[in-house]
A and B are shown apart, each in its own frame.
Chain A
C-alpha cells in the first residue's frame, strides 16, 4: 500500500514538474516570437557578400535583438533552401534569371526584394599602365592588330582571360563578332583569376580580362575598362543562349544586385523583414571599404561590420526606419 502511494506521489510530482517545464518553455517561445527570433542569412562565396551578411547581422543583433545564424550554402542550392524556409535571405544576388523564374514567379517560394544599393557591371578591363604605351586600347577598335601584345604560353597569338564559371559571359562570341584574334582562356574561379591577374600586374605585364565591379581588388589593381560597342535592343549577354553572332556585338549591361528573401520569412512577421527590406548600401565604395578590411587587412568580419556600423550611423538609422 505504502509503496503504491509513494509511487503515486512521485508520479504526481513528476507530472507537475513536466507541466511546469512546458509552461516555462511555452512562455519562452512566446517571448522570442514577440521579439525577433532567429534569422538565417546566407553568405555567398565572395568577400562583398561576407560584408553584406556581417553588417546586416550586426545591425539585427544589436538593434533588434535577433539572433542571426550565417550559413554558407552555394549560390544555386540556396534557392531550394529559401524555398523551404531553411535560409531566410540572400543579400546579394547577381541576376540568376532562371531561378527567379522557377522560384519567384512559378513557385512563389522566394520573393525578390529589389536592389541592395549596388550596381553590378561587367566589362573588358586592362591595367592602367598599359594605356601609357597603347593609348588606343581605350576602345575595342584599338585592340585590332595589336592582339600579339597579349601573348601568353597558352595563347601565343593573344590571350583573353575569361571569368569565373558562375558569372554570365559571352566573350567567346564577342571576340568573334568583333573580329579580334584573341584566344579565350578560362582561368577558373574568382580566386584563381585574382591570383593570375595579381601575378601579371605585379610584373607589369599586359593583360586583357573579363572583370566586374564592385570588386574590392579594383582599388589595388587599378584597371581601366575597354570601351565596347554600344548596347542595342535585343542585345545578348548570355553566351549559353543560342543566338546569331551579331546579337552579342555589344557591351554588357549593368544591373542592380538583388536581395532575395524566402516567402516564409516575409510572411513570418519578424521585425527583421522590414529592416532587411530597407538594407541598402549608399554606394559601391561603402561595400568595397568593408570588403577591403575583411580580405585585405584580414579583419574579423564581425569587427569589420562593427567598425562600419559605428562610423555610418546615419545609414544604419535609415535601415532601422528611424
Chain B
C-alpha cells in the first residue's frame, strides 16, 4: 500500500515532463526501496524495535510538571503580568460572546432574530441569501435546538470574524514574502496537525473554561486555512499583471489593493468558506471546555444516551455552516466591484430598504417583548418526529442480521483488515527500525530531493526518541492508506467537478456536510456496520480529508489561465488532451496544496479514529486529555506532528523541484 501512496504522489507531476527511462523513473526506484525493505523484513529478526537507550523516558514526567506549574501559577491570588493580560483577553472574549448571545436570544428574541438575519442577508446578499438565512433559522426551530444553536452561532460569529481578521493579513504577508512563508509554515502545520485534545488543558489553564477558551481553540484550527489559501491567492496572481503595474509606477500598496487582491478574489472567497467550515468543525471539541456548550453538548452526551439527538445536533451544525457560507458568498459576489453597476436611484432605494428593514426588526423586537415571545422558539418542533425517523435508521444499522451488514459491510471490513491494514501494520511495525528509517529517507530522497529526505530522517528519528516508534508505525500505516484513498478520490472528483457544472453542483453541498458534520456523529453508526477496529477510523479520515482535495483541485483546474486553454484548443486538442496536457499541469500548485491539505486533514482525524478503534497515537492523545496524562498526550501529538511534517515536506519538495524543472 505504501507504493500506492507513493506513486500517487509521484503520479501527478509525472504527467508534466519526465525524460528519464522507465528503470530510473521515481516509481521504479521507490519500488526497489520497498522490495529491499521486504527482503530485510523477511530475513531479519522481528523484535528490533526502537532501542530504549535512544529514548527520552523522562519527557512525559517533565511535561506533566510544566503543566502543574502553569496551573498553580494561574490560580495564585496575584498572578504575574502575563497571566493578568491573558485573563483580561479571556474576560473580554467571554463578555463579547455572551453579549452577542444575549442580543440574539433575550433582547431580540426569536422573531426579531430571524427577521434580522433574513433581512441583513437580503439587503447585502440578495433575495436568495435572505431566503437561505430564514430557512436556516427555521431549521434550528424545527430541530428543537434553537437555544443551543444561538449559543453556537454567537460563538462562531466571533471565532470566524477573528480568524479572518488574523488570517487574511497574515496570508497576504505570506503570499508576498518568501521569508515569512518559511517562518510561518511550521507554525501553521503545527496548528492544523496537533490534535486539539492535546492543547485543551493548556488553553483552559490560560483562558479558563467558557466561551473565550472555545474561541481560542476554534481559532487555532480555523486561522491556518485562511492564511494558506489567501497566500495561494496572492501568489497565483499572474506575474505579468504585477509587473505591468510596477512598470506603470504603482506603489507596493497600490499593487496589493488594485492588482493582487482583486485578482485573487476567488481564492479569498474560498478562504472565507474554508474558515467558516473549519471553525464549525470544532463546535464539539470546543464544547468540551465551554460552560455554554451549545450544539456540542447534545453531541457529546447524546453519543451515549441518545445518538439520534446527537445526529440532529450535527445536522444543525451543518445547516449553520452552509447558511453562513452561502450568505457570505452572496454578499461577496454582490459587492464585487466588477459586477456592481449602481446608479443613484438604486442607491436611494437601497438606503430606503435598509431603513425599512431596521424598522421591521425593531417592530418585531417590540412586538416580541409585548406578546412575551420566548427568547427561544419552543412551541412546535419536528424534533420528536425526526428523532423517531433517525432512530429507525439507527435500529436498522445496529441489527447484525440485515443484508447490509451480513453480506456487504462485514465481509468488506474483514477483507480490508485482513488483507490490507493488518499486513501493512505488521510490515511497518516488525521491520527493524533502522531499515524502516533508512527506507523512508530513501523514498523521500527519490521523490523530492535531499532536504525533504533530511527532514524525513530527522522527524522519524524524533518519533523514536520520544518513545512512540511502535505506535507511530501503526498510525502511519493507517494514515498512508487513508491518504491514498482520499487523494485519489479527491483528485478524480475535483477534476470532474471542474469540468462539469453538474458534478460541481452535487459535490459542493456534500463536501460542506462532510467537513462540518462532527465525525463522532457519523462514525459511530460505522462502528455498528463495520465492527472491526481500524475500519471506522479509516472511513472517518477519508470522508473528512477528500472534500478539501476536491475543492482545491477544482478551483485550481478551473482557474487555469484562459489563453493557455484557448491556444491548445486552436491547435485542435481534444477535451481529454486539454485536461491532461494543459489544465492539470498548469493547476499543479493548487493540486499539490490539495494533496498536502489532504494529508493534514487525515492527521487531524487521527484522534477521532483512535476513539473508534484505530488505537495507537490517536488513542494515546485521547487518553492524555481524558485521564489527565498531559505528558502522554503531548508526546503522542509530537509524533503525529513529526509524521505530518515529514509527509508534507516530501509532497511539497516535489512541487518546488517541479517548478525549477520547467519554468
Evaluate contact between B627 and A190: CB separation under 8 angstroms: no
Within 257-299 of A, Cβ neighbours of B (below 8 Å) are at 291, 294-295, 298
Within 185-212 of B, Cβ neighbours of A (below 8 Å) are at 200-201, 204-205, 208-210
Kindly state the separation between the CA atoms of A192 and B307 in the bound complex, as whole angstroms.
12
Evaluate contact between B623 and A166: CB separation under 8 angstroms: yes
Which residues from A are CB-within-8-Å of B614?
A: 188
Which residues from A are CB-within-8-Å of B464?
A: none
Evaluate contact between A187 and B613: CB separation under 8 angstroms: yes
Kindly state the separation between the CA atoms of A168 and B626 in the bound complex, as whole angstroms.
10
The yes or no answer to A173 lying at the interface (CB within 8 A) is: no
Point out the residue from A72, A84, A109, A186 that lies within 8 Å of B287, measured CB to CB: A72
Kindly state the separation between the CA atoms of A145 and B308 in the bound complex, as whole angstroms.
42
- Cβ contacts B301-324/A at 8 Å (1 or 0 each): 101111110000000000000000
The yes or no answer to A83 lying at the interface (CB within 8 A) is: yes
Total CB contacts across the A-B interface at under 8 A: 186
Kindly state the separation between the CA atoms of A110 and B241 in the bound complex, as whole angstroms.
64
Evaluate contact between A199 and B400: CB separation under 8 angstroms: yes
Which residues from B are CB-within-8-Å of A322?
A: none
The yes or no answer to B490 lying at the interface (CB within 8 A) is: no
Segment of B331-339, B410-418, B557-565 in the binding face: B410-418
Among the interface residues A71, A168, A191, which one has the most CB atoms of the partner chain B within 10 A?
A191
Which residues from B are CB-within-8-Å of A30?
A: none
Which residues from B are CB-within-8-Å of A189?
A: 303, 611-612, 622
Point out the residue from A153, A199, A295 that lies within 8 Å of B417, measured CB to CB: A153
Evaluate contact between B627 and A76: CB separation under 8 angstroms: yes
- Cβ contacts A53-92/B at 8 Å (1 or 0 each): 0000000000000000101111111111101101100000
Segment of B7-15, B68-76, B246-254 in the binding face: B68-76
The yes or no answer to A232 lying at the interface (CB within 8 A) is: no
Point out the residue from A47, A71, A109, A199 that lies within 8 Å of B304, measured CB to CB: A47
Evaluate contact between A81 and B400: CB separation under 8 angstroms: no
Nearest chain A residue, comparing its CB with the CB of B537: A188
Evaluate contact between B209 and A86: CB separation under 8 angstroms: yes
Point out the residue from A40, A77, A166 that lies within 8 Å of B201, measured CB to CB: A77
Within 597-631 of B, Cβ neighbours of A (below 8 Å) are at 610-615, 619-620, 622-623, 625-629
Kindly state the separation between the CA atoms of A235 and B287 in the bound complex, as whole angstroms.
38
The yes or no answer to B532 lying at the interface (CB within 8 A) is: yes
Point out the residue from B209, B304, B307, B400 that lies within 8 Å of A87, measured CB to CB: B209
Evaluate contact between A77 and B291: CB separation under 8 angstroms: no
Chain B interface main SS type: helix
A202 to chain B, nearest CB (A): 5
Evaluate contact between A188 and B611: CB separation under 8 angstroms: yes
Evaluate contact between A298 and B387: CB separation under 8 angstroms: yes
- Cβ contacts A165-186/B at 8 Å (1 or 0 each): 1111000000000000000011
The yes or no answer to A254 lying at the interface (CB within 8 A) is: no
Kindly state the separation between the CA atoms of A195 and B391 in the bound complex, as whole angstroms.
15
The yes or no answer to A225 lying at the interface (CB within 8 A) is: no
Kindly state the separation between the CA atoms of A96 and B623 in the bound complex, as whole angstroms.
12
Segment of B42-50, B292-300, B574-582, B639-647 in the binding face: B292-300
Evaluate contact between A190 and B304: CB separation under 8 angstroms: yes
A262 to chain B, nearest CB (A): 12
Nearest chain A residue, comparing its CB with the CB of B406: A203
Evaluate contact between A153 and B418: CB separation under 8 angstroms: yes
10 residue pairs A–B, Cβ–Cβ below 8 Å:
A73-B293, A74-B289, A76-B628, A77-B209, A102-B71, A154-B533, A167-B627, A186-B615, A195-B528, A298-B308
Known contacts A165-B620, A188-B613, A291-B305; 20 additional CB pairs below 8 A are A45-B301, A71-B293, A72-B287, A73-B288, A75-B626, A76-B626, A77-B209, A79-B628, A80-B205, A154-B417, A154-B532, A164-B626, A187-B533, A188-B612, A192-B612, A199-B398, A199-B400, A199-B528, A202-B400, A298-B387
